[in-house]
Amino acid sequence: QVHVVESGGGLVQPGGSLRLSCEVSGVTFSRYRISWYRQAPGKERELVAGITTVADRTVYADSVKGRFTISRDNAKNTAYLQMNSLKPEDTAVYYCNAVLFMGSYVDYWGQGTQVTVSS
């Protein structure tokens, strides 16, 4: 059984930092590309950042470039999203997505972790 579990969310003041973690079990983690998405109330889910299987390439939404950093530790089956200089508009539920392409896409989602940026 596959489990994708996010953690690390919470309430933080503007300008603060949080580090989200995404632990994946039940699959060979190193074969999966990992992405972080977020969904704010009343808005569609959007891609925040993505990382390849061996971490040789990353991609970021324009709104988080220079502030967020995605990384992974394949030995720990865990990916991370370091979020610095947080803004109120970063408030959302953050989801981790693990994707494998084997002729077709196989992907798994976590339950999400709430990030609230407010003074």
Residue 103 scores a pLDDT above 90: no
Residue 102 scores a pLDDT above 90: no
Q: pLDDT tens across 20-59, in order?
A: 999 999 999 999 999 999 999 999 999 999 999 988 899 9
Q: Residue count of the chain, please give it.
A: 119
- Dihedral angle over CA of 13, 10, 85, 80, nearest 10: 170
**Helices within 23-88 (DSSP H only):** none
Q: How far is CA 75 from CA 25, 29, 30, 72, 100, in A?
A: 12, 9, 8, 9, 18
